[in-house]
Amino acid sequence: MARPRIVIVGAGFGGLSAAHCLAGIDAEVTVIDRRNYHLFQPLLYQVATAGLSPAQIASPIRAILRRAANERVVLGRVTAVDKERRVVTVEDREVPYDYLIIATGARHSYFGHDDWEHVAPGLKKIDDATFIRRRILTAFENAEQALDAEARQRFLTFVVIGAGPTGVEMAGAIAELAHVALRHDFRTINPRDARIVLVEAGARVLAAFPPSLSEAALQSLQRLHVDVRLGKAVSQCDENGVTIGDQRLEAATIIWAAGVMASSAAKWLGVEPDRVGRVKVGQDLSLPGHPEIFVIGDTACTVDSNGQPLPGLAPVAKQQGIYVARLLQAKLKGTASPPPFRYRNYGTLATIGRRAAVADFGWIKIDGTLAWLLWGLVHISFLIGFRNQLVVMLDWLWSYLTFQSGARLITGTEPD
């Protein structure tokens, strides 16, 4: 009898966890991704702010799964799912499945202002990170050559929109770049004159954290001279700056960290998505009426025991991937299915710069140096590949000791 075919779309945190768990089972597993590497998104902001190089936070999917003899990797973009014929369309090919796991993550959302994307890039891919890095470093170069004070100030103004973890980490890292790493590098300008503005429509930074940690994060940002504007939404964005509330601010670099929208899976599956495009799934993470299709991670809308939607976090996606893999193993073996999925929150962390971070473990909340060390340890341990773990650790140690940041390259602009 032919072995059951399990197709996993997306080799991010959710898809890869499922693939790891399904390695060696009596089934053919196909992992499809539009790129040939797994990306550790939580450290993307360090690539965007010249702290790390792209290869340090990405690993080839084939290399990660090389020991799983029952798994194969297909490089390609999925564009449709035919639920009746049980096939996935990957560009011009069809891949049949008996069980399908969709883990295609999320993308930026500009809340109806899609025209802002080219002036206020978001951070989701390596290309986004190197593009933002180019913008930030070029702004300092342009400021050095600016002929008048007004232009210089515009080049030295950086606006980050959205004060969730990504926005806070970006703002903190740009401030450190300006105040620490670049401080001796220019002759006409003082990079410390850079103005970093973090704009948040809500009442506090890191709104998903307890208020005491939001306050600690705010104070850390202010110590780094970040100008935090709370309770104000950006109403206009263009090449020359932003309008915050009714105030105009001239800025050459604007970064979007305000909203995400799930991938197109709901469209492929022909189901009504939730408000942010996610597919509503049952307690076993399957699509209602289709026990052979599972949706996990940022693409799925699942709730916790209080009925609250689970956040778009790597541990949620990982635990869901493991859960679905175990459920499939039970199905294939004909044993009892595991109980409904329950997310175990082991804690959330965000860093604000050198020796500043916040950590919420529920039973204990910490900030400062200890939280920062924990943040570093957790991120190193979750990075895939011993080489990346070692290189990132050494890079961080080097930057910490020398106040330098190693990847200050402006790439993608040279004329032929």
Ligand X SMILES: Cc1cc2nc3c(=O)[nH]c(=O)nc-3n(C[C@H](O)[C@H](O)[C@H](O)COP(=O)(O)OP(=O)(O)OC[C@H]3O[C@@H](n4cnc5c(N)ncnc54)[C@H](O)[C@@H]3O)c2cc1C
Site for ligand X, rule CB under 6 A: 9-15, 32-35, 41-42, 44-45, 77-78, 103-105, 123-124, 165-166, 263, 297-299, 312-315, 317
Distances (CA, A) of 350 to 166, 379, 391: 8, 11, 21
Q: How far is the CB of 259 from ligand X (least distance, A)?
A: 11
Which residue is listed with tokens 């299915």? 337
Q: How far is the CB of 258 from ligand X (least distance, A)?
A: 12
Q: How many other C-beta atoms lie within 10 A of the C-beta of residue 193?
A: 12
Smaller CB separation from ligand X, 189 or 257? 257
Distances (CA, A) of 171 to 178, 328, 377: 11, 42, 22
Smaller CB separation from ligand X, 9 or 366? 9
Kindly report the backbone phi and psi dihedral angles of residue 16, in degrees, each rounded to the nearest multiple of 5, phi listed first. Answer: -70, -35
Smaller CB separation from ligand X, 143 or 279? 279
CA quadruple 336, 325, 342, 292: dihedral sign = negative
Smaller CB separation from ligand X, 132 or 224? 132
Long-range contacts at 305-310 (CB < 8 A, ≥ 24 apart): 305/342, 309/274, 310/343
Q: How far is the CB of 358 from ligand X (least distance, A)?
A: 12
Strand segments (E) across 347-416:
348-353, 356-360, 365-367
Q: How far is the CB of 12 from ligand X (least distance, A)?
A: 2
Distance (Å, whole) CA 109 – CA 113: 8
Would you state the torsion angle of the CA atoms of residues 5, 10, 11, 16, taken in this order, to the nearest 10 degrees?
-60
Residue among 71, 169, 176, 200 flagged as catalytic = 169
Smaller CB separation from ligand X, 151 or 393? 393
Which helix (H) or strand (E) segment holds residue 95: the answer is: strand 93-96
Return the amino acid letter for 281: V
Which helix (H) or strand (E) segment holds residue 399: the answer is: helix 386-402
Are 295 and 279 within 8 A, CB to CB?
yes
CA quadruple 106, 111, 114, 119: dihedral sign = negative
Which residue is listed with tokens 């960290």? 257
Q: How far is the CB of 177 from ligand X (least distance, A)?
A: 17
Structure tokens at 150: 């007004």
Distance (Å, whole) CA 325 – CA 38: 19
Strand segments (E) across 162-301:
195-200, 226-230, 234-238, 241-244, 247-250, 253-256, 260-262, 279-280, 286-287, 290-295, 300-301
Residue closest to ligand X when measured from CB atoms: 12
Q: How far is the CB of 147 from ligand X (least distance, A)?
A: 36
Smaller CB separation from ligand X, 123 or 254? 123
- Does the active-site annotation cover 169? yes
Smaller CB separation from ligand X, 174 or 249? 174
Q: How far is the CB of 149 from ligand X (least distance, A)?
A: 34
Residues belonging to the active site: 169
